[in-house]
Amino acid sequence: MKRSLAFLIMLLAMATAESADWPHWRGQARDDISSEPSGWDGKAWIKGEVWKASVGEGSSSPLVVDGQVYLTGWAKNQDTIFCLDAGTGKEQWRQSYKSPRYGRHAVGDQKLYSGACSTPEYDSATDLLFTLSVDGDLKAWDTRNKGRNVWSLNLYDKYQAQRRPEVAVRKKTRRDYGYMSSPLVA
């Protein structure tokens, strides 16, 4: 899936320094509710498209923190973390690392679940951005230092995660998409 950020741009059309951040999967309170107007008047987007960016394949959600948009995408056997200016879409920095298109035990629905699927997590106490690849690479990135990698570990390797057990859905199937859930800072 090539990801066009048109949907994000509509939400960001009214983004300013005073706007609320969206620092986690599903937003500030992790409930998919924003206190800000969407820019939709019931028929069309009021401001139209402000900017768009192509970031590769995946299905993760973007984060908005302090006027920056953080998002991930997959292309050419790499996951890439992007930091874009929320107002202009101009790239501030990017970091890439080797990553497969699918998790190492991936079986089933691969056309739907490929590339960067986990939404990053932002920690306001440390300004670190955490990402998780479909192949279990959990990484911490320093947003104050152009996304420099602070640490990483692979969940498959560290915990010897096996392919998930068979699940019966109409017929026996063994679907495993790799790591799809988003990190959570506690």
Token pair belonging to 56: 């590769």
* pLDDT for position 134: 86
> Does 22 have pLDDT greater than 90?
no
| Cβ-Cβ contacts under 8 Å for 142 (sequence gap 6 or more) | 127, 128, 148, 149, 150
* pLDDT for position 46: 73
* pLDDT for position 8: 43
Token pair belonging to 103: 């998790």
Does residue 173 or residue 149 have the better pLDDT? Answer: 149
Token pair belonging to 14: 């009214």
pTM of the model: 0.79
Does residue 185 or residue 80 have the better pLDDT? Answer: 80
- Work out the average pLDDT over 173-181: 70
- The 10s digit of each residue's pLDDT in 25-84 is 877 877 888 777 777 888 887 776 788 899 988 888 899 999 999 999 999 999 999 999
* pLDDT for position 5: 40
Fold (topology level) of 2-173: Lipocalin (2.40.128)
- The 10s digit of each residue's pLDDT in 161-170 is 776 666 666 6
Spatial separation of the C-alpha atoms in residues 35 and 32, rounded to whole Å: 10
* pLDDT for position 50: 80
Question: According to the per-residue pLDDT averaged within each range, which of 39-53, 112-126, 152-166 is highest?
Answer: 112-126
The domain limits of the chain are 2-173
* pLDDT for position 179: 72
Lowest mean pLDDT: which of 28-32, 109-113, 181-185?
109-113
| Cβ-Cβ contacts under 8 Å for 12 (sequence gap 6 or more) | 50, 64, 69, 86, 87
- The 10s digit of each residue's pLDDT in 3-19 is 444 334 434 443 443 46
| Cβ-Cβ contacts under 8 Å for 174 (sequence gap 6 or more) | 107, 108, 163, 164, 165, 166, 167
Spatial separation of the C-alpha atoms in residues 39 and 43, rounded to whole Å: 10
Token pair belonging to 166: 């068979």
* pLDDT for position 183: 86
